[in-house]
Structure 1
Amino acid sequence: MTRWTLDDIPDQSATCAVVTGANSGLGFETARGLASAGAHVVLACRRPDAGEAAAAAIDEAFPDASLEVRELDLASLDSVKRFARGVRQAHDGLDLLVNNAGVMAIPRRETADGFEMQLGVNHLGHFALTGRLFDALRRGSRVVSVSSIYHRQGAFDFDDLQWEDSYDKWDAYARSKLANLLFAYELQRRLDAEGVEMKSVAAHPGYAATNLQSRGPKEMGSRLRLLAMKAANALVAQSARKGALPTLYAATMPDVEGGDYYGPGGFRELRGYPEQVASTERSKDPVLAGELWRVSEELTGVSFL
């Protein structure tokens, strides 16, 4: 694959897109890239003031950008429900949903609904959001789930899904990122089984320098770990703008097929330009994916397909 950049995004002037976590990092760059190509972008943000600041920055770079800021807290199923209702009322339909927002390696906390925070935000919130927006997604639309190379370390224990018996912040993060891929692939299986003309695809950014990495050390109050993370970002990571390219490729390119997975094509997929990449056999396990889907429906109260 040749070096694919922002300049290669096809015209998106007919696209209505939702991007979660669009106020910073990868979400901001994804929203910026889509807006630069003419899409109407709904910036779904936990803090509306941060969303408005992000929209202003995009508008400054692209004065013709079509943007809309809406409050979404993926740690609250009530917030997900309100957000989806507002989007459905405001728009005739959606063409693209980018499930990007997330938290990484934080001390154990729970969402408003009692879920372990990383699984709750990274997977269950997005599962519920996709379900509540599903009927609004038009024929030919796409759902892009943003995972991580950390999915390779992910494993499931349904007897301790919420990490109540023991908790490791990195294992919990890996589980949530494995869940993103299990969901993306299972969604495509169900779309195919029902003959629905939509694509469920996934992407990961490699090692991209964003504020995601700093949240864990900040919540732990560890200045040393925060400094180490900043040093690693400076030495190893690629920019958030480049890290967003696999997501943008998955979201916009006509050669993308349902079930595809994109990431950086460089060394160990840490950095580089977008390419189709492989995920673990565990991420493709239909039995595991089916059980996760069942449990996700039960926990969120949202059923679709």
Structure 2
Amino acid sequence: MITSQHPIGSGFGATTTAAEVLDGIDLTGRHVLVTGGYSGIGLETTRALVAAGAQVVVPARRRKVAEEALAGLAGVETDELDLADLDSVAAFADRRLDVGRGFDAVIDSAGVMACPETRVGPGWELQFATNHLGHFALVNRLAPLLNEGARVVSVSSGAHRRTAIRWEDPHFATGYDRWDAYGQSKTANVLFAVHLDAIAQDRGVRAFALHPGGILTPLQRHLSREEQVEMGWIDEDGNQIADWFKTPEQGAATQTWAAFSPQLDGKGGVFLQDCEIAEVTEDGGGVAAHAVDREQAERLWDFSVRLTGVDGFRS
């Protein structure tokens, strides 16, 4: 069943926090995977889930850093995972398959933004490789562990509006623009959820993509202070001055809502924003039509299968 890309009147909004989304929801016995769950909005997501009773697995490229950030949180397990390295993705997935415990939600919250031109693997552009291909391979490899009723949450960005998939040059071989590369990876995050939902709902798995909102987190690590001052985000001393930024607790709300809100039961394959299903719009806000195009979503899936060699939902 195709879910309409229109608001449902959730009653939540831009200032809702992850804890408020989960108020009254008991996650005892639920098992969740949160990539990037030790930093920024991922960390706030982990905290909210644990407070509601969930057991959370947080894989990390910097496992020691993750352990330090998560110290004192009961019910959290860390593991090693580098999303830019498909061998690391396979090894992590194999360890989870050996454990054998199913997941009730997978939240793909990790990512890189506007980094210098970097190549990984066979020359793949880093942002597309990390933000999309790594998560694509991860979720496909974990397909046998997704419980009936599980949700896969793909964290995108409003930057998806910047560009559709650049089929003629997806890895920027002819000239690199770090923001276009980021925007393409975020479009890929949405298209991934669109097609995953289409092919996985028969086994009881649904998928969502979302824009968490603007939040100042370590995601901005590749932006200099001067750049952020010029964009009006911070002042010369590094203090936030833009009043439209969310707090990390608010930024974590939409992905937490996507993972466990009963308001989304029976729904999937849609783009969310501010704890609501967004409208398709052409001029800012909401979701761009190119990111929820079902033909483009299937084309990206097939392309990703060729690159990663993994297709856990159609094999």
C-alpha displacement at 1:75, in angstroms?
Answer: 0.6
- Which of 52, 64, 80 is equivalent to 1:37? 52
| Identical-residue share of aligned pairs (%) | 39
Structure 2 unpaired stretches of 5+:
1-9, 280-286
Answer with 202-211 or 69-78: which moved more.
202-211
Cα-to-partner distance string for 1:256-304 (whole Å, 9 max, x where unaligned):
121232212xxxxxxxxx2221322111212211111111001111112
Q: Which amino acid aligns with 1:132?
A: R
TM-score (norm 2): 0.85
- Which of 220, 242, 257 is equivalent to 1:235? 242
Q: Superposed, which structure 2 residues align to 1:95-134 within 5 Å?
A: 95-134=104-143
Corresponding residue number in structure 1 for 2:70 = 55
Q: Which amino acid aligns with 1:224?
A: E
Q: Is the 8 A contact 1:154 1:175 kept in 2?
A: yes
Q: How many Å separate the matches in 2 of 1:79 and 1:118?
A: 17
Corresponding residue number in structure 2 for 1:158 = 167
**Are 1:249 and 2:257 matched, yes or no?**
yes
Runs ≥4 residues deviating over 6 A: none
**Are 1:216 and 2:216 matched, yes or no?**
no
Q: 1:200–1:284: structure 2 CA closer, same or farther, 3 Å change rule? A: same
Cα-to-partner distance string for 1:213-266 (whole Å, 9 max, x where unaligned):
1x222xxxx4522555660744231111110100000011112121232212xx
Q: 1:102–1:149: structure 2 CA closer, same or farther, 3 Å change rule? A: same
Q: How many Å separate the matches in 2 of 1:283 and 1:81?
A: 28
Q: Superposed, which structure 2 residues align to 1:152-301 within 5 Å?
A: 152-192=161-201, 195-213=202-220, 215-217=221-223, 222-225=224-227, 227-228=229-230, 231=234, 233-236=240-243, 237-256=245-264, 257-264=267-274, 274-278=275-279, 279-301=287-309
Corresponding residue number in structure 2 for 1:149 = 158
Q: How many Å separate the matches in 2 of 1:91 and 1:35?
A: 21
Structure 1 unpaired stretches of 5+:
60-64, 265-273
Cα-to-partner distance string for 1:102-136 (whole Å, 9 max, x where unaligned):
00111110124431000000000000000110111
More helix by share: 1
Q: Is the 8 A contact 1:124 1:300 kept in 2?
A: yes
Q: Is the 8 A contact 2:21 2:253 kept in 1?
A: no
Corresponding residue number in structure 2 for 1:24 = 39
Name the Cα RMSD after superposition.
Answer: 1.7
Specify which structure has the bigger relative contact order, considering alpha-carbon pairs within 8 angstroms and separated by 6 or more residues: 2
Cα-to-partner distance string for 1:130-174 (whole Å, 9 max, x where unaligned):
011011111111100001111111222222110011111111111
Q: Which amino acid aligns with 2:276?
A: E
Q: Aligned pairs, how many?
A: 283
Q: Which amino acid aligns with 2:251?
A: G
C-alpha displacement at 1:91, in angstroms?
Answer: 3.6
Q: How many Å separate the matches in 1 of 2:68 and 2:42?
A: 13
Cα-to-partner distance string for 1:2-39 (whole Å, 9 max, x where unaligned):
34541441111121110001120011111111111111
Corresponding residue number in structure 2 for 1:271 = none
Paired residue secondary structure (1:262): strand
Corresponding residue number in structure 1 for 2:284 = none
Q: Which amino acid aligns with 1:298?
A: R
Q: Is the 8 A contact 1:22 1:54 kept in 2?
A: no
Q: Is the 8 A contact 2:117 2:176 kept in 1?
A: yes
C-alpha displacement at 1:53, in angstroms?
Answer: 1.1
Paired residue secondary structure (1:124): helix
Q: Is the 8 A contact 2:131 2:189 kept in 1?
A: yes
Q: How many Å separate the matches in 1 of 2:100 and 2:47?
A: 20
